[in-house]
A and B are shown apart, each in its own frame.
Chain A
Amino acid sequence: MASTIRVRATSSGDITEVQALIQHPMDSGFVKNAKGETIPPHFIQQLTFEHDGKNVFTADWGGGISKDPYVKFAFKGAKKGDELKISWVDNKGATDTTTAKIQ
């Protein structure tokens, strides 16, 4: 299966800008479906970015993050061609991991 994570990491000088888009329903547990039944919570709880074995960014998320979440941040110390490892875990214990080359 194709990865749920799409990442774009671009380096400019010492700064690497990272944008990530993940496919996930991010159900908060407060929304009802057409039949009036509550859709149970299903959302990503933690998303981590690692560069060179070091954690550069961690997101702790609740159900208030939009469906198919997007996040953008920037960090120093990486160069073009370096690898960035991205992984998430949701409240049901599902996970996905991918690596992206910094451009």
Chain B
Amino acid sequence: MNITDVGFSATRRLILQGAGAVALIGLGNVPFGLTPAIAAANDRYPEEAFKQKSDADVIKTLYGKTAEPSDKVKMDAPEIAENGAVVPISVSTTLADVTSIAFLVSENPNVLIARYNIPAGTLPNVANRIKMAKTSNVTVLVEAGGKLYSASKEVKVTVGGCGG
């Protein structure tokens, strides 16, 4: 039994080494492969994007392209939020072929609040409630037809929602 075990693990080690080598070779292609990989991974939880500390880093990590402001993206947010723990924000757009919508708060410790995936047949209108640490710019990103559009608005917060 023991002998078989040793034999097995040795084989396993060889296989793993082989797999490692293949993986390393594969990594060489990453600079070209990265952007489509992010775009295609809409179904996976974007762990890295949620850790980013600036609007630009979130957009880069989540979409890998730049956003252009659009008046077809309508954000409904209060001018002044009395309670930063619960700020109701909604977005709608007249853009066609929307695939995802994201909410960003520039001054929060982690900028990305939420990303919603919009499959075909689902309307590009979303409402949610978010936390704001302090007065900040709120940005919504709308991915439509492979392009990225945005709208921003400053929301004043009188009582922060992230403690401290």
Contact = CB atoms under 8 A, between A and B. Distances in A.
Interface string A39-76: 00000011000000011111111111111011111111
Contact of A73 (B85, B126, B129): B126
A65 B115 CA distance: 11
A66 B128 CA distance: 9
A66 B129 contact: yes
Nearest to A32: B163
B130 A60 contact: no
Of the listed residues A45, A66, A67, A77, the one surrounded by the most CB atoms of chain B closer than 10 A to its CB is A66
B164 A64 contact: no
B117 interface: yes
Contact of A64 (B112, B119, B122): B112
Contact of B131 (A54, A66, A73, A74): A66
Chain A contact residues: over half helix, strand or loop, or mixed?
strand
Interface stretch (B32-40, B64-72, B103-111, B147-155): B103-111
A29 to B, nearest CB: 8
Interface string A15-30: 1000000000010101
B61 interface: no
Interface residues of B, number: 35
Contact of A60 (B108, B116, B161, B164): B116
Contacts of B87: 66
Contacts of A77: 121
Contacts of A45: 45
Interface in B132-164: 133, 161-164
A92 to B, nearest CB: 14
A5 B108 CA distance: 27
Given A60-B46, A63-B110, A66-B87, 5 more contacts: A60-B114, A61-B114, A65-B131, A72-B127, A76-B123
23 contacts: A15-B123, A28-B110, A30-B109, A30-B164, A31-B164, A32-B163, A45-B45, A55-B119, A57-B122, A58-B117, A59-B115, A65-B130, A66-B87, A69-B128, A69-B129, A70-B127, A70-B129, A71-B126, A72-B128, A73-B122, A73-B125, A74-B123, A77-B121
